[in-house]
Amino acid sequence: MTDFIMALIWLVPVLGTCQLLLLLDNLARFKKAYSLKDQALFTTVSVMIPARNEAENIRSCIDSLKSQTWQNMEVLVFDDCSEDDTAEIVESCIVDDKRFRLIRGQGKTEGWAGKNDALRKVVREARGEVLIFVDADTRLAPQAVETAVAIIHEEEAGLLSLWPRQTMKSPEEQLMMPLLSFILLAFLPLKFAESSSLKEFTAANGQFMVFTRAAYKKCGGHEALKEEIMDDVRLAQRVKASGERVIIRDAGQLAACRMYDSYEKIWQGFRKNLYPAFNNHLLIFILSICILAAGHVLPIAALVYALAAGAGSLALASSWQLFNSLATRIVLALSLKQPLFSTPLHPLAVSITILMALDSYRGYTGAGVVWKGRTYRRG
């Protein structure tokens, strides 16, 4: 190999070590502890839940909200034309509890993504000073709302994106779902993201999002999103562009969510989100895939080749990066209480994610991507 090629190869483990150090710094910020304070006790809160075909999830979500220590709140459940018993289950759960209200959707507005349309409609009914959006498959601990209000007040933020603990029961969930926190915490510098005015440097998780009403209104809210698939990330970008602060924190002790319970649903969910996550910019999309492959898939192949060919320098560089890659996943697993068994399979999980990303691109530039019975397309 030429000296230039070897220099490029050695650059990978050097950057991999930087990534590991970034992860450690991010975790310190991500898992910051907060104390509850009394000054926000009179804040009114509106919790909004979009629900489409959520018969399996909605009861436990509502039960978790009934147990909240924060009493000055209303909960609005928007039934988005469900084809199952979602609405009936909600009605049975909220009888005699005046804090809860079911809003029945009358059909998706033409030209709108379903979730965006649902949330812009339910916000019109909300009265709170703090607006909280919770997915129907999310379960909140009793102090979740109270803690969320305390954090957003203490940080003086316009948007607080909380990341629930991902419940992983099946082997395929334990293999793939840790990639969500890996991509967030090993690639996005949170300190820079929270201090920079560049809207591209941010992230969000729609499972548990907390806005001040002023920041939500200032950024245009869901009314400004229309066909956007990644409504959570786009809202975060708009909040930052409007001059408000966006912060991202761990909610592992406050909330849990089981996003997908089968490999098929994991593929569908990742397929729906991966290409839009890059703002549909093909060049950035391809570059990101190449970085993932170079840092977390190719080192194994390179190490096997180096050992067979007796290429000592290549073997050392590959081993170093393989250590970086696996150490990153182990640190994440220990910090966020994720399953350790899947960490050696990290290169396999990244490989599958790359295939999902390519399928996401093919879907959005082709026949479309189907999610909850609706088809989404992008040119």
pLDDT at 100: 96
As a whole number of Å, the CA-based R_g of the chain is: 22
pLDDT at 379: 45
Beta carbons of 235 and 204 less than 8 angstroms apart: yes
Quick check: is 77 in a domain? yes
What average pLDDT score do residues 229-246 get?
Answer: 94
Q: Are residue 62 and residue 74 in the same domain, yes or no?
A: yes
What average pLDDT score do residues 36-40 get?
Answer: 61
Percent of the chain clearing pLDDT 90 (strictly above): 77
Query: What is the β-pairing status of strands 130-134 and 100-104?
Result: unpaired
Tens digit of each residue's pLDDT (9 = 90 or more) over 286-343? 999 999 999 999 999 999 999 999 999 999 999 999 999 999 999 999 999 999 989 9
pLDDT at 108: 86
Q: Are residue 286 and residue 150 in the same domain, yes or no?
A: no
**Has residue 63 got a pLDDT over 60?**
yes
**Has residue 132 got a pLDDT over 90?**
yes
Measuring CA to CA, which residue among 116, 176, 163 is closest to residue 357?
Answer: 176
pLDDT at 261: 84
Which of 212, 230, 261 is the endpoint of a domain? Answer: 261
pLDDT at 234: 93
Q: Are residue 22 and residue 65 in the same domain, yes or no?
A: no
Q: Are residue 21 and residue 138 in the same domain, yes or no?
A: no
Quick check: is 270 in a domain? no
Which of 212, 236, 261 is the endpoint of a domain? Answer: 261
Quick check: is 54 in a domain? yes
Query: What CATH number did the domain enclosing 57 receive?
Result: 3.90.550.10
What average pLDDT score do residues 59-84 get?
Answer: 93
Q: Are residue 80 and residue 206 in the same domain, yes or no?
A: yes
Q: How far is Cα of residue 270 from the mean position of the Cα atoms in its chain?
A: 11
Quick check: is 80 in a domain? yes
Q: Is residue 46 classed as helix, strand or coil in its secondary structure?
A: strand
Q: Are residue 242 and residue 290 in the same domain, yes or no?
A: no
Quick check: is 266 in a domain? no
Q: Are residue 283 and residue 341 in the same domain, yes or no?
A: yes
What average pLDDT score do residues 32-40 get?
Answer: 72
Q: How many residues does the chain have?
A: 379
How many domains is the chain built from?
A: 2
Quick check: is 268 in a domain? no
Q: What is the average pLDDT score of the chain? A: 92
CB atoms within 10 A of CB 366: 10
> How does residue 378 score in pLDDT terms, banded at 50, 70 and 90?
low
Tens digit of each residue's pLDDT (9 = 90 or more) over 266-293? 999 999 889 988 877 899 999 999 999 9
Quick check: is 254 in a domain? yes
Quick check: is 273 in a domain? no
What average pLDDT score do residues 179-196 get?
Answer: 94
What average pLDDT score do residues 42-68 get?
Answer: 93
Q: Are residue 294 and residue 166 in the same domain, yes or no?
A: no
pLDDT at 58: 95
Tens digit of each residue's pLDDT (9 = 90 or more) over 82-116? 899 999 999 999 988 999 999 998 888 888 888 99
Beta carbons of 258 and 166 less than 8 angstroms apart: yes
Q: Are residue 23 and residue 35 in the same domain, yes or no?
A: no
Percent of the chain clearing pLDDT 70 (strictly above): 98
Domain that holds residue 225: 31-261
Beta carbons of 23 and 191 less than 8 angstroms apart: no
Which of 261, 287, 303 is the endpoint of a domain? Answer: 261
Q: Are residue 242 and residue 354 in the same domain, yes or no?
A: no
pLDDT at 159: 97
> How does residue 16 score in pLDDT terms, banded at 50, 70 and 90?
very high
Q: Are residue 133 and residue 251 in the same domain, yes or no?
A: yes
Q: Are residue 153 and residue 252 in the same domain, yes or no?
A: yes
Q: Is 310 left (phi over 0), alpha (psi -120 to 50) or beta?
A: left
| pTM (global) more than 0.85 | yes
Measuring CA to CA, which residue among 275, 284, 293, 285 is closest to residue 352?
Answer: 293
